[in-house]
């Protein structure tokens, strides 16, 4: 590949130092390294063992979907309410008045968002493992974006049992 034409490593941010934490707790990031005595973060519910809960959240009739600062605060509030550990948060605004796409990378997985303000619609993915409460994000988003309708589907990822 010609010099200067190489693709960035997957997961890197072209515009910011990927080691920056935007104020997140660096100490929390150091606690997630692998070790032989590390806890198994799989969960069990109703006799089914699984890696984590993945919520697909559709918000219809929602507001403030082009407000970058407001969406950042909502994502941070979701992380806190769920009891998760924020590692990195990156949001991209598509022109003034346009949509926002982004991700909060968590020690426990991620929250992603894509908004279509022209349709008053937002799509969120909330995937978390370990001792977290991903369902808490639904109420945070309801309060922050005041949708007229919310559709939530839940998927148990990495099922081990029936």
Instruction: Record the tokens describing residue 141, joined without a space.
Output: 């988003």
- The Cα–Cα gap between 127 and 52 comes to 7
Q: Give the helix/strand (H/E) hosting 48.
A: strand 48-50
Residue 78 designated active-site? no
Q: Which of 129, 148, 153, 155 is catalytic?
A: 129
d(CA 78, CA 104): 10
Residue with tokens 């493992």: 129
| Residue among 70, 90, 93, 114 flagged as catalytic | 114
Catalytic residue flag (residue 129): yes
* H, E, C per residue of 103-150: EEEECCEEEEEEEEHHHCEEEEEEEEECCCCCCHHHHHHHHHHCCCEE
Task: Answer yes or no: 109 catalytic.
Answer: yes
Task: Give the residue numbers marked as catalytic.
Answer: 109, 114, 129
């Amino acid at each position: 590949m010609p010099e200067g034409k190489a693709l960035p490593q997957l997961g890197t941010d072209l515009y910011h130092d990927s080691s920056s934490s935007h104020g997140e707790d660096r100490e929390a990031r150091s606690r997630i390294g692998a070790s032989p005595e590390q806890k198994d973060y799989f969960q069990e519910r109703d006799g089914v063992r699984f890696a984590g809960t993945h919520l697909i959240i559709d918000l219809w009739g929602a507001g403030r979907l082009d407000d970058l600062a407001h969406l950042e605060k909502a994502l941070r509030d979701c992380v806190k309410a769920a009891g998760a550990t924020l590692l990195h948060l990156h949001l991209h605004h598509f022109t003034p008045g346009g949509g926002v796409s982004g991700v909060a990378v968590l020690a426990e997985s991620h929250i992603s968002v894509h908004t279509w303000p022209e349709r008053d619609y937002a799509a969120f993915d909330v995937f978390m493992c370990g001792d977290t409460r991903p369902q808490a994000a639904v109420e945070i988003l309801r309060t922050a974006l005041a949708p007229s309708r919310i559709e939530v589907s839940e998927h148990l990822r990495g099922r081990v049992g029936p």
